[in-house]
Structure 1
C-alpha cells in the first residue's frame, strides 16, 4: 500500500521551508529555497509575491522527485509571515510589491488610527495599531499611492497568495485576519465599523475560513510543474506564530512560546479574546478553532545578530559569534545593546527608536560586543515575558524555538535571564511542523489536537536556570530597562534632522 504523507509549507521572511512528514510525525524530507527582500527606501521592506510562489513550487518539486511513486501527498497546509500586505486587481494580478510586516513606513498611519479610533480598535480587534499591522499599510496606500489603492480588488497575506496560485481560490484564515486589525475578533467577521471609518471597500476583504478548512486541490499546471498528485488536499493554514504555537505544543497549557527568528516573539494560549493586556500585547485567533493567543513582538531579534555579523564580522558564522560570546563574562563587561535597529513594537510601539551600545570602554573586546548583542536580544524578550508576569500569568516553562534554540549556550542564557525553566524541540521546525499538523488534522489522521500534538511534538531535556546567574541578570536587566527612556527622545530628534 502506498505511503501517505503531509506537506507543511512555512513561508518565512527570507526563505520557504517545505517539510514532508509521515503519520508518526517523522520528518521524511525538507527543502529550503531563499528569496530576496527589497529595501527601496529607508525603513521600507518589500518582496515580490511571485518569488514566494516560484520558491515554494521548486521546493515541493524537489521533495516529490525524491518520493517518486513510493508515496503520495494526502494533505498540504501553510504557515506564513503575518501582516504583510499583498494586493491584487480585478484580474487577480499583483498591483505592486508586497509591503512586509517589518516595514516601518506606516508610523504616521498607526498614530492616526490610535489617536482617532484607538479605544474602538482595541475593543473590536484586541490590538492597538502599530506600523507592522495591515490596516496602516492600506491607509499608507490611500495617501501615497491612490492609483494603486483604487485598483485593489483583493488584499491578502503572503501564504494566501501562494495558496491562491496553487488552488485558484482566494480566502484568509482567522489567525491571519486578526493580524490585519480589521477583524472583529469576538464576532469572527470583518468589522464594518472599521472599514467604513477608514473608507476601505468591504469587497477587498477575502472570504474567512478556519485553518483546517479544505480549500481545494492543486491546479493541473501545479501538479505538472511539481509532481504533486492531483488529489492532494490543500488546507488553509495560518499565520506563522499561530502555527508555530501548534508545532510547539502551545495549547491548553501554562507554557509560553519564545521564538527567535528575524523578529522575537513571546506567545501564550488564551481561552478568550478579552484579556487584561489592553492592546499592550497582540491578541490573535489561534490556528485551532475557538482558541486565541496573545503575543508580544520585539522587531529585530535574529535580525540584530545578522546585522552585527554582516557589519563587523562578515567572514564569521553565527556559530563563531556564539563561541566568541562564550568567551565574555556574564554582563559583557557592563556593555549593553538595545536591539531597536528596526524600531520596536512591544512594549514601546516606537518606529523612531534605534538601537544602541551603551557602556563602551577601552577594556572591551570583540567577545564582549558579541555577548552584549545576544544578551540585549534576550533582555528584549524578557520585556515581553514581564508583561505576562505583571498580569499574573502562570508560567510553568518556556518552549524555545528558532535561532536561539539551536545553541545550548543561548538556551542556558535565556533560562538565566528569564529565571524560568526552558525546553527546546527535538524537531526544530516549529512553523513547518505546525503546518504539517494542520494538514494531518484536515485529513482526519487524528480525532483531536491533543492526540496530534502528543505524536508530532517532541521535546529535549528541561534546562533549569542557575539561581546565582539569575540574580546577577536581574540587576543588569534593571539597568537595561532604563536605556529606552534615555535614548527615545534622541532617536526621534535625529529622525527629524
Structure 2
C-alpha cells in the first residue's frame, strides 16, 4: 500500500488539504472555505471553530471522495496563516474571535511598544511591532476587553489551534513564534523582558517546537470526527510563508520567492541571524532548524486584482481580464497603480496610506487599468528587491508562486521589472507541499530537507528579462517610487475625513 502524508494549508479564506506521496506527488486535494468578518473598518476576524470544521470537512472528503485509506496516511503537518491571535481560557476554550494578520486596529498599541521599548525591542525581536503582528493584538485586548484578558490563559496562532483540536496538545513552532514579535531571536525563547514590560504573563506563551518536530497524535475523539486513524503522528508545522518557502525550494541564498496571494510576499533565505535590514523587512525563523528568512509584505497584492475584478469585471473571469491587459502595452499607456488598498507593511509601515491610479486620461480603457494593476503589484515587490540590492545581498533567480505564476504575461512582467530570471514551478501548491515535507522529514522518510527538495520541487518554466523592457520599466519604476511620498499626507487626511464623517 502506498503511503501518504497530509499537508494542511490553513489560509485566510479557505483550508486546503493535500495527500502527497513519498515522491512529492499530490495524489488528491480537497478544500473548504470559511467566512471572514469585518465588524468595523480596519477589523478582520474569524471564528477559530470554522478552521477546525473546514479542515475536518476537507479531510473527510479526501477519505471518502478520493478514496484515500486512513491506514495509508502516515502523518500530517501544517502551513498556517501568520500572526492571528487565538485566546484560550483555563479550559482551553476560545474566548473571542481570532484577530487576523490583516487587522489594523492596533496603531495605538504599536506606538505604545515603540515608546516603552524603542530600539531595545528591535534588538530582541529583529522586527518592528507592526499592527498586524500578534503582540499589538494582545495589548489591544488587554486595553479594550479587560474582561476577556482576565480569563486568558494561553494564546495560539491559527494552525496551532487546529492542531490542538486534533491532538489535545498546546504548542507553536519557531517560525510562527517569530511572527508574534515576542520571541527573542538570539536566544530562541519567549522574551521575558517584553512580557514583563507589557504586563503579559510569560505563562500565556505556548511551548515551542521545531517545525518538523512531533507535536502529538490524533486523539480518539478527533479520529471519530474526521475518519483519520487514532494515534497518527502530527508534526508542528510552520507559518505559511516559511512553509511556502520550503515547498518552493528556498534553501539557498541565491534565490528569492515572489508570492502573490491575498497579500504579496518577497522572501529570501538567510543563514545569519545578525543580518540587519534596518527593520524594514521582517526577519523570521525558517521552517528549517537554525535557518532564517527575511520577508517584505505587500498587504494587498492579489487582493488588488480581486478588488478590481469584483468592481469592474463582475461578470468576467480572470483569464479575460488578463487578455485585456495583453491588448494594452508596457506601462499601460502611461498609467500607474499603487496597491495600498488597506495600508502597507513594507517598505512603508503605514496603516493610513491608500492606493491610487496616476496618469488617468480619457484614452485609457479597462485593459490599461488591468495592466497597471499587474505592473503596480510587481513595482511594489521591486521596492523590496531594492532593499536587498542596497545591502549587497545579491541573488540571481526569482521563484514565482501564487497568482503571479498563473499568467505568462505576469511572469514576464516580473522578469522584466526585477531584471532577473523568473521560474514557475510544476507544483504550485507550495504551502501544502512544504507542510508535507515537514511531515516526511519528521517521519524519517528523508534525512534532511535538501534531499527531500530534490523530489518535491520541480521547475516548470523559465522567463528571462527582455533588455528593452528592462530599460523601459526602469524608467517607469523611478516614477512609481515617488508616488508614496507624494500621496501619504493626502491619504492620511482622507482617512481622517472618512472617520469623522462615517
Q: 1:127 matched to which residue of 2?
A: 127
2:151 matches 1:151: yes
Q: How does 1:78-477 map to 2 (within 5 A)?
A: 78-477=78-477
Whether contact under 8 Å (2:70, 2:229) holds in the other structure is no
Q: Over residues 237-287 of structure 1, what are the superposed CA-to-partner deviations in whole Å (9 max), with x where a residue is unaligned?
A: 010000101000001341001100011101111112211212111000001
Distance 2:428 2:320 in 1: 20
Moved more, 147-156 or 178-187: 147-156
Whether contact under 8 Å (2:103, 2:132) holds in the other structure is yes
Note the residue ranges of structure 1 that are not aligned, 5 or more in a row. none
Distance 1:212 1:451 in 2: 15
Superposition TM-score, scaled by structure 2 size: 0.97
Distance 2:327 2:386 in 1: 29
Q: Over residues 380-400 of structure 1, what are the superposed CA-to-partner deviations in whole Å (9 max), with x where a residue is unaligned?
A: 011111111111112120001
Q: Over residues 70-100 of structure 1, what are the superposed CA-to-partner deviations in whole Å (9 max), with x where a residue is unaligned?
A: 8511110000000011111111111111110
Instruction: Give the 3-state SS of the residue equivalent to 2:357 in structure 1.
Output: strand
The alignment yields a C-alpha RMSD, in angstroms, of: 1.1
Q: 1:57 matched to which residue of 2?
A: 56
Shift in CA distance, 68/391, structure 1 to aligned 2, threshold 3 Å: closer
Whether contact under 8 Å (1:90, 1:152) holds in the other structure is yes
Instruction: Give the 3-state SS of the residue equivalent to 2:454 in structure 1.
Output: helix
Deviation at 1:147, TM superposition (A): 1.2
Distance 2:422 2:344 in 1: 25
Instruction: Give the 3-state SS of the residue equivalent to 1:6 in structure 2.
Output: strand
Distance 1:69 1:129 in 2: 45
Aligned pair count reads 496
Q: 1:9 matched to which residue of 2?
A: 8
2:47 matches 1:48: yes
Distance 1:291 1:489 in 2: 39
Q: 2:32 matched to which residue of 1?
A: 33
Deviation at 1:445, TM superposition (A): 0.2
Distance 2:235 2:328 in 1: 48
Whether contact under 8 Å (2:63, 2:70) holds in the other structure is no
Distance 1:361 1:454 in 2: 51
Deviation at 1:69, TM superposition (A): 4.0
Distance 2:402 2:131 in 1: 24
Whether contact under 8 Å (1:399, 1:422) holds in the other structure is yes
Whether contact under 8 Å (2:220, 2:231) holds in the other structure is no
Q: Over residues 418-470 of structure 1, what are the superposed CA-to-partner deviations in whole Å (9 max), with x where a residue is unaligned?
A: 11100011001011100000000000001121110111111113210101001
Distance 2:368 2:2 in 1: 52
Distance 1:289 1:76 in 2: 19
Deviation at 1:325, TM superposition (A): 0.8
Note the residue ranges of structure 2 that are not aligned, 5 or more in a row. 498-502
Deviation at 1:68, TM superposition (A): 4.9
Instruction: Give the 3-state SS of the residue equivalent to 2:4 in structure 1.
Output: strand
Distance 1:70 1:193 in 2: 46
Whether contact under 8 Å (1:175, 1:284) holds in the other structure is yes
Whether contact under 8 Å (1:353, 1:492) holds in the other structure is yes
Whether contact under 8 Å (1:33, 1:59) holds in the other structure is yes
Moved more, 193-202 or 311-320: 311-320
Superposition TM-score, scaled by structure 1 size: 0.98
Deviation at 1:221, TM superposition (A): 2.1
Whether contact under 8 Å (1:237, 1:435) holds in the other structure is yes
Whether contact under 8 Å (2:81, 2:239) holds in the other structure is yes
Distance 1:378 1:225 in 2: 44
Whether contact under 8 Å (1:269, 1:292) holds in the other structure is yes
Q: 1:21 matched to which residue of 2?
A: 20
Instruction: Give the 3-state SS of the residue equivalent to 2:108 in structure 1.
Output: helix
Distance 1:68 1:178 in 2: 35
